[in-house]
Amino acid sequence: MAAILILLTIGLPWLGAVLVWLARDSRPRLQNILAVGFSVAAGLAALALIPSTSSGTAIHLAAGGIFGDFTFVPDGLGVFLAVVATVIGSLAVIFSIDYMKGEAQLGRYYALVLAFIGAMAGLVLTGSLFLVFIFWEITALCSYALISFHNDDPKAVAGGIKALIITQLGGIGLLAGALLVYAHLGTYEISVLLEKAHLIPAGMLAWMAFGFLAAAAAKSAQFPFQTWLPDAMEAPTPVSALIHAATMVNAGVYLLARFYPAFEGVPGWKTAVIAVGAITALMAAVMALVSTDLKRVLAYSTVSQLGYMVYAIGAGGVFASQFHLLSHSIFKALLFLGAGAVIHAVGTRDMRQMGGVGKQMPRVRTVFVIGALALAGIPVLNGFWSKELVLETGLTHGPWLAYLVMLVGAGLTALYTFRCVWMVFYGEPRSHLHGHDAQTAMQIALVPLALGTLVSWLLAGPFAQLLAGSLPFHELEAHSTLEVLAEVITAPATYLALAVVALGLAAWIWRERLSGLASALQGLGKWAADSFGFESINRTVVSSTQRLAEWLRGSQTGYLGWNVAGILAGLIIILAILAWGA
Amino acid sequence: MIISSSSVILIGILGLLGVGFYGLLATRNLIKVIVALQILVKAVLLAIILAGNLRGQVNLSQSLALTVIVADTIVAVIGLALAVQIRRYIGTLDVHSLSNLRR
């Protein structure tokens, strides 16, 4: 049963991708129906998979040789993320009906989105490190193609190329780690690695641990790779909500959580993870504070919240990080889709031109404010519980300096969230923009997410049991919802964090009186708007990769003789290596 | 000095390989390229059969060789058919003039 459901969860979106493409762009109605039908069906299949959660292998396909065995394991972590990917994926597809109405090449759009959903489900459900790498790369390719969807816009193309190159750097780390596992254990099975990690020499294990950390940082836009995500905002907004907020960027966090038992003993690894998370969370929060582009603010806040999850894993809180991932996926998808409705209505992303939009779009304002309150960590929304759990884990198991940084980050989060909501929805209109409230399909997508933001924290107990029951190597405890909530409420860290959040809120309310402070920090703001200089580093990496590619292209002459010579040279090199090894 | 039959065959294989690769590298005529490819495949065939003999798995190597012969014939037929069409529509068999890549 589990095997069939796994195949459906991964296969239905891929089948839908092919059918949407075959339906041709001249029949957009049929394309809408196909895309929604297949993505919703995949979401239902993933939800049906929840009861069959287990740590056992459900599908075992012996590929043999260097490829190892292809296995799929429906354990708690995988099923949970597959549900997130397919359910939020189907909501994003429904939202797209209105958002992408009248766009040319709708087939390409839907096909790529559906292919992404299938690949993301495969990435989290597979038990083979080799397949993790394959699915990882498919999601990166879909992300690249969707960022550059408007391929006549040079900014969109540049953003896509940048995202592809930076995430590929991480992909190399993942591939190297997978090959090292195969070299030492003779298998790609993740469960074998978690069980026998101590058999690998310490030095090798350290290389793998830091290789995986680099892979995760690149995929989840963590320090020092954080600058690709804001540029990825050139993508259509449903894509930003799905790929660059709710699913693909979580793949890095997933990777760290998945391999935490194998690497927690590596000296310095946990400290490095905490450092990456804390630096990213603070840096991105400051950048969100000075940005004026609505989608970029949300992108920076995504980077910042991902920093919280990474930090939680470094402090040993795998459950806290995954719980925050759940909350974040829901409220950030809500925020992005709400922002999409606003952008669709007013025709600009510049918050300085908005203001007072709330009067024209009361429904969108309501759901956006719900999402914003969750992001800021206001009780009793889901973001509050999970963020407090992360902070509490950090206080008890992590260094106090990192905790302090995260606390400041929480205050800044509240500040930039209220700034964003105010600039968009309240105050006087700053230009003559004519908005209209969200259309039917948009509302159908927004309402479940808003409800989820309000109540998903009630699932803490079942979620903890789901993870604890099927992850034998993670040493998780199955708490009930009440226990988790009581743990948050009774912890002193919670009230400290709430005070800081209130401080952030107060800073926004009394912003006029604090204008002296603001002008004193203007230098910092300028520096932050410039991405603290990391933008230029990332840009150098991208441009040098492109130059190298242009140079290597010279070897592609199309002459038969050249190609044959290349094959001969390769053969001789391989023979030489074999002779040298023997 | 005793020369075993397998080393004679090995020398033959290397000779055929050399001729085949030289042909691929040096000729520009598409027909000659296909001929060179055929010679190369014959060397591979010989190598398969020799390996089967040495390892005592004659049946396996012979069935593999038969498969290669079938595949190889198809390659030759399609290659020659393409050559005829190229000669007809482009007017030349020079492989260098077939490339449309920007250099």
Summarize pLDDT for A131-143 with one digit per residue, the tens.
Answer: 899 999 999 999 9
What pLDDT is stored for residue B1 in this prediction? 63
Of A556, A557, A561, the CB nearest to B25: A561
The pLDDT assigned to A433 comes to 63
Q: Which of A559, A565, A568 sits opposite B96 (nearest CB)?
A: A559
Mean pLDDT of B49-76: 91
Please state the domain count of chain B: 1
Question: How far does A566 lie from chain B, in Å, by closest CA?
Answer: 10
- Longest CA–CA span in chain A (Å) reads 78
- Is a pLDDT exceeding 90 seen at residue B77? yes
Chain B residues lying within 8 Å of A560, measured CB to CB: 24, 33, 95
Answer whether A556 sits within 8 Å of B21, measured CB to CB. no
Write down the pTM of the prediction. 0.84
Q: Measured between CA atoms, how close is A565 to chain B, in angstroms?
A: 7
* Residue B56 C-alpha, separation from nearest chain A C-alpha, in angstroms: 23
pLDDT at A427 over 70: yes
How far does B46 lie from chain A, in Å, by closest CA? 19
Question: If you measure CA to CA, which chain A residue comes closest to B96?
Answer: A559
3-state SS, A445-478, equals HHHHHHHHHHHHHHHHHHHHHHHHHHCCCCCCCC
Q: Which structure tokens are listed for A407? A: 């606390």
Contact A558 B100 (CB under 8 A): yes
User: A70 pairs with which residues across the strands?
Assistant: A61
- What's the rounded Cα separation, in Å, for the pair A468 and A2? 19
Query: Which residue in the set A557, A558, A565 is minimally distant from B25, CB to CB?
Result: A565
Residue type, position A123, single letter: L
Cβ neighbours around B13 below 10 Å, total: 19
Task: Write the single-letter amino acid at A183.
Answer: A
Interface test with B, best of A551, A555, A557, A560 (most B CBs within 10 A): A560
Task: Supply angle C-alpha A310, A313, A316, rounded to 5.
Answer: 155
Of the candidates A557, A564, A565, the beta carbon closest to that of B101 is on A557
> For chain B, what is the largest distance between any 2 Cα atoms, rounded to a whole number of angstroms?
58
Identify the band that residue A14 occupies on the pLDDT scale cut at 50, 70 and 90: very high
- Lowest model confidence (mean pLDDT) among A127-131, A258-262, A329-333, A534-538: A534-538
Question: Looking at residue A402, what is its pLDDT?
Answer: 84
- Candidates A458, A463, A455; CA nearest to A479 is A463
Tokens of A5: 């459901």
Q: Locate the domains of chain A by residue range.
A: 2-529, 530-582
Model confidence at B100, pLDDT cuts 50, 70, 90, reads: low
**Chain A within 8 Å of B26 (Cβ-Cβ)?**
yes
Which of A562, A564, A571, A572 should we substitute to test contact with B (largest number of B Cβ atoms within 10 Å)? A564
Q: Is residue B56 classed as helix, strand or coil in its secondary structure?
A: coil
Is position B53 within any domain? yes
Distance CA A298, CA A337 (A): 11
pLDDT in tens, B6-47: 888 899 999 999 999 999 888 888 899 999 999 999 999 999
Overall average pLDDT of the A40-67 stretch: 83
The count of residues in chain B is 103
| Residue contact A557–B24, C-beta within 8 A | no
Query: Is the predicted pLDDT of residue B102 greater than 70, yes or no?
Result: no
Of B24, B26, B101, the CB nearest to A558: B101
CB contact under 8 A, A559 and B25: no
d(CA A33, CA A25): 13
Cα–Cα dist A112/A143, whole Å: 8
Residue B9 in domain: no
Contact check, Cβ <8 Å, A561/B24 = yes
Query: Cα(A255)–Cα(A259) distance, rounded to whole angstroms?
Result: 6
Contact present, A187 and A179 (Cβ < 8 Å): no
Distance CA A474, CA A109 (A): 38
**A252-256, A293-297, A360-364, range with the lowest pLDDT:** A360-364
The three-class DSSP label of residue A265 is coil
From the centroid of its chain, how far is CA B70? 13
Chain A contact residues (CB < 8 Å to B): 556-561, 564-565, 568
Say if residues A435 and A298 touch (Cβ distance below 8 Å): no
In chain B, which residues have their Cβ closer than 8 Å to the Cβ of A559?
95-96, 99
Interface contact A565-B100, CB threshold 8 A: no
Dump pLDDT digits (tens) for A471-528.
777 777 777 777 777 777 777 777 777 787 787 777 777 777 776 676 667 767 777 6
- Among positive and negative, which fits the CA dihedral A291, A297, A303, A309? positive
Pick from A558, A559, A564: which is nearest to B21 by CB? A564
What per-residue confidence (pLDDT) applies to A460?
80
3-class DSSP state of A293: strand
Percent of chain A beyond pLDDT 70? Answer: 96
CA distance A336 to A298: 7
Give the domain range for residue B69: 28-93
> A with B: how many residue pairs have Cβ under 8 Å apart?
24
As a whole number, the mean pLDDT across chain A is 84
Task: Say which residues have a Cβ less than 8 Å from residue A236's Cβ, sequence separation at least 6.
Answer: A96, A99, A100, A109, A146, A149, A150
Distance from the A564 Cα atom to the nearest Cα atom in chain B, whole angstroms: 6
Kindly state the average pLDDT of the residues A366-390.
Answer: 85
Q: What is the pLDDT, as a whole number, of residue A420?
A: 86
pLDDT of residue A574: 92
DSSP string, A360-371: H-HHHHHHHHHH
What does B78-93 look like in DSSP terms, one character per residue?
Answer: HHHHHHHHHHHHTS--
- The residue among B14, B22, B25 with the most chain A CBs within 10 A of its CB, best to mutate, is B25
Using DSSP's 3-state secondary structure scheme, residue A479 falls into coil
Amino acid at A302: T
ipTM: 0.77
